[in-house]
Amino acid sequence: MISPAERIEIEAAVFRKLIAHLDENRQVQNIDMMILANFCRNCLGKWYSAAAAERGIEIEYEQAREAIYGMPYDDWKNAHQLPASAAQLESLKARQKTI
């Protein structure tokens, strides 16, 4: 049985690995993640900010996104995000109807 502190350490390590994995796979677009998994890097930023707020720590959404993207969001978007195709937008629309 692991202790609560060990569980938190493991979960934190998994989160860091997820962020590193996403950073290593920048070709995976946020819209593709939304279509397949119903979350994206921006969602992680929202969850990060919300988790901080639940603990009485103020982290603005843009600060949280920077923690996820490893740089300001606009810089990441300009460097790595491609315009969504018509097919991607249709797939996202269909996905959103199912939830």
Domain boundaries, the chain: 4-98
Within 8 A by CB and 6+ apart from 52, the residues are 58, 59, 64
Q: What is the mean pLDDT of residues 68-91?
A: 96
Rg (C-alpha) for the chain, rounded Å, is: 15
Q: What percent of the chain has pLDDT over 70?
A: 100
Q: Is the pLDDT of residue 97 over 90?
A: no
- Distance CA(99)–CA(83), nearest Å, equals 24
CATH 3.40.50.2000 is held by the domain 4-98 = no
Does the pLDDT of residue 99 top 80, yes or no? no
Residue 3, pLDDT > 80, answer yes
Where is 30: in which H helix or E strand? helix 30-37
How high is the mean pLDDT of the chain? Answer: 96
Q: What is the pLDDT of residues 32-69, one digit of tens each?
A: 999 999 999 999 999 999 999 999 999 999 999 999 99
